[in-house]
């Protein structure tokens, strides 16, 4: 069997990244994109964790037909039953039960001995099995677990009905050779292993999550748990796009395949980054802004003569068009729609109207509109969460001799127009204070970053922020050629996300 099952946990482990909270509708939109991408299994959430998580898993299960939908559950009866509640309408439901198995976790966290853990794992897999056939089990912290006990535990859960056994490197501790030998050891020593698929779930604390996952495939694992852009707890999970493109690019060495439509990778990466506010570093493999950019003269010369001199992958294989210059002020609606279609966006007439208006506004200020500008317009106009407060207008006066002063106008929840003004230490501070006087949600700004979408003085500025309220973090994003307007939009986006998720 050469197919590697891609199990995407962006909506579960990925959402566990500090400050990456998503709303229910954003989770559904990401799930739709993962289905189009060709992901085999979507881990949609952890239903016992909160009513919002349960509802998100339920909504995804009702709609998505092309991917299996999995719900995470710790090894407790109520968690297993709630996981089933979440996924029972899915076309291909799966429950994923986990329980710690290392001495460190068992003695300090669970305060249970091996026999108790063995019995609890077996019983909870059996309980899940009463609901459905497709059950996965993970011995948490497997890479720091005594090998003999790990084999014994895996044998017991497979006997209880587990159809996938997942080996998590929970703390990102293992090394490729060691991990490969662990998977081989499991194949040799767990006598019923052929009844289950071996899966791996690697964290990136030592930057080895992808290398460890690939070593595991070579040793017999046939399911990889990963996330888009590698987001996840602490240093993140194995990055899906890196694993998929490594398998595809080095097929000479790795004779495996996945069902991923790689041309949709870039768009998926953008969507996840926009919604989570987790910025993709420019030098990130596959999807970073510099991944296909050649700076040195020698490299540029080589690329012009023959692309493969310095490129091991075709940018089009991940969905980058390679076109930089596309539209301008005089371009019409038809050319605009065609360009978006070639970038993979099939928009409704209403969506075209909204994005075309934003495009015209931008074309008045900026000479050349590139594909990256178009993506920023799409993110800004179409991917905003349902707004409780809407920013109508923002005006600022500032300079080295005046106290920065901002006035803002918002539409409130009942459609009422609200306006106020405030002074601050700088223009952004003044805008945020004026908004606070109207929205009145206590919060603290903990992260603020601005980057330009393209080169040039007339570029769109993209502002990403994170705010904290009652111990939870919320991301916000805004884009505009005026970075004060972009900052105001990012703040409104974060406040709306806070209000929407609190209401869920």
Q: Binding partner of residue 17 among ligand KIV, Zn ion, none, CB under 5 to 8 Å per kind?
A: none
User: Shortest Cβ distance from residue 9 to Zn ion (Å)?
Assistant: 7
User: Shortest Cβ distance from residue 27 to ligand KIV (Å)?
Assistant: 17
Torsional sign, CA 341, 343, 348, 350: negative
Work out whether 138 is an interface residue with ligand KIV (CB under 6 A): yes
Work out whether 151 is an interface residue with ligand KIV (CB under 6 A): no
**CB of 99 or CB of 494, closer to ligand KIV:** 99
**Considering only CA atoms, which of 224, 74, 81 is closest in space to residue 138?**
74
Q: How far apart are CA 44 and CA 48, in angstroms?
A: 12
Work out whether 13 is an interface residue with Zn ion (CB under 5 A): yes
Q: Choose which of 7, 84, 98, 491 interacts with ligand KIV (CB under 6 A).
A: 98
* CB-closest chain residue to Zn ion: 13
**CB of 12 or CB of 155, closer to ligand KIV:** 12
Q: Answer for the pair 200, 164: CB distance below 8 angstroms, yes or no.
A: no
Q: Binding partner of residue 380 among ligand KIV, Zn ion, none, CB under 5 to 8 Å per kind?
A: none
Q: How far apart are CA 421 and CA 434, in angstroms?
A: 5
Q: How far apart are CA 424 and CA 427, in angstroms?
A: 7
**CB of 13 or CB of 141, closer to Zn ion:** 13
**Considering only CA atoms, which of 379, 353, 345 is closest in space to residue 460?**
379
CA dist 477 → 22, 449, 465 (Å): 13, 10, 6
Give me the helices (H) in 254-394, please. 265-276, 297-305, 333-342, 349-365, 371-382
Work out whether 170 is an interface residue with ligand KIV (CB under 6 A): yes
Work out whether 227 is an interface residue with ligand KIV (CB under 6 A): no
Q: How far apart are CA 410 and CA 167, in angstroms?
A: 50
* First-to-final CA distance of the chain: 43
**CB of 168 or CB of 277, closer to ligand KIV:** 168
Q: Choose which of 34, 56, 140, 465 interacts with ligand KIV (CB under 6 A).
A: 140
**CB of 169 or CB of 381, closer to ligand KIV:** 169
Work out whether 201 is an interface residue with ligand KIV (CB under 6 A): yes
Q: How far apart are CA 162 and CA 147, in angstroms?
A: 19
Q: Binding partner of residue 140 among ligand KIV, Zn ion, none, CB under 5 to 8 Å per kind?
A: ligand KIV
Interface with ligand KIV (CB under 6 A), residue total 8
Q: Which residues bind Zn ion (CB under 5 A)?
A: 13
Q: Which residues bind ligand KIV (CB under 6 A)?
A: 13, 98, 138, 140, 168, 170, 201, 203
């Amino acid at each position: 069997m050469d197919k590697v099952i891609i199990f995407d946990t962006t909506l579960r482990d990925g959402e566990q990244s500090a400050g990456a909270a998503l709303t229910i509708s954003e989770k559904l939109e990401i799930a739709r994109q993962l289905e189009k991408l060709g992901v085999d299994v979507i881990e949609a959430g952890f239903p016992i964790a909160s009513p919002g998580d349960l509802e998100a898993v339920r909504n995804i299960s009702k709609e998505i037909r092309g991917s299996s939908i999995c719900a995470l559950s710790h090894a407790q009866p109520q968690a297993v039953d709630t996981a089933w509640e979440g996924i029972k309408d899915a076309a291909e439901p799966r429950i994923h039960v986990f329980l710690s198995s290392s001495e460190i976790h068992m003695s300090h966290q669970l305060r249970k001995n091996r026999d108790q853990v063995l019995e609890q794992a077996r019983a909870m897999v059996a309980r899940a099995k009463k609901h459905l056939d497709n059950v996965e089990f993970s011995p948490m912290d497997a890479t720091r677990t005594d090998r003999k006990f790990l084999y014994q535990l895996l044998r017991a859960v497979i006997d209880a009905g587990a159809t996938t056994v997942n080996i998590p490197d929970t703390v990102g501790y293992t090394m490729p050779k060691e991990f490969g030998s662990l998977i081989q050891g499991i194949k040799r020593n767990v006598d019923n292993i052929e009844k289950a698929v071996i899966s791996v779930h690697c964290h990136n604390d030592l930057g080895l999550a992808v290398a460890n996952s690939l070593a595991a495939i070579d040793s017999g694992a046939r399911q990889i748990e990963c996330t888009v852009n590698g987001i996840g707890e602490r240093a993140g999970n194995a990055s899906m796009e890196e694993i998929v493109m490594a398998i595809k690019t080095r097929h000479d060495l790795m004779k495996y395949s996945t069902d991923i439509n790689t041309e949709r990778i870039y768009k998926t990466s953008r969507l996840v980054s926009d919604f989570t506010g987790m910025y993709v570093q420019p030098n990130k493999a596959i999807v970073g802004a510099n991944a296909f950019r050649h700076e040195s003269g020698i490299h540029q010369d080589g690329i012009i003569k023959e692309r493969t001199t310095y490129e091991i992958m075709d940018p089009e294989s991940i969905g980058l068009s390679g076109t930089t210059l596309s539209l301008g002020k005089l371009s019409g609606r038809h050319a605009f729609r065609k360009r978006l279609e070639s970038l993979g966006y099939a928009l409704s007439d209403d969506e075209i109207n909204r994005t075309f208006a934003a495009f015209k506004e931008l074309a008045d200020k900026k000479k050349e509109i590139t594909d990256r500008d178009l993506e920023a317009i799409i993110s800004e106009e179409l991917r905003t969460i349902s707004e409780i407060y809407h920013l109508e207008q923002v005006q600022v006066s500032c300079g080295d001799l005046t106290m920065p002063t901002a006035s803002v106008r918002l539409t409130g929840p009942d459609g009422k127009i609200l306006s106020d003004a405030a002074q601050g230490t700088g223009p952004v501070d003044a805008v945020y204070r004026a908004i606070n006087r109207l929205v009145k949600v206590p919060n603290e700004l903990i992260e603020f970053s601005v980057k330009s979408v393209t080169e040039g003085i007339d570029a769109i500025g993209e502002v990403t922020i994170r705010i904290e309220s009652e111990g939870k973090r919320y991301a916000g994003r805004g884009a505009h050629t005026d970075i004060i307007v972009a900052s105001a939009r990012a703040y409104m986006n974060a406040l709306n996300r806070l209000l929407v998720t609190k209401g869920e």
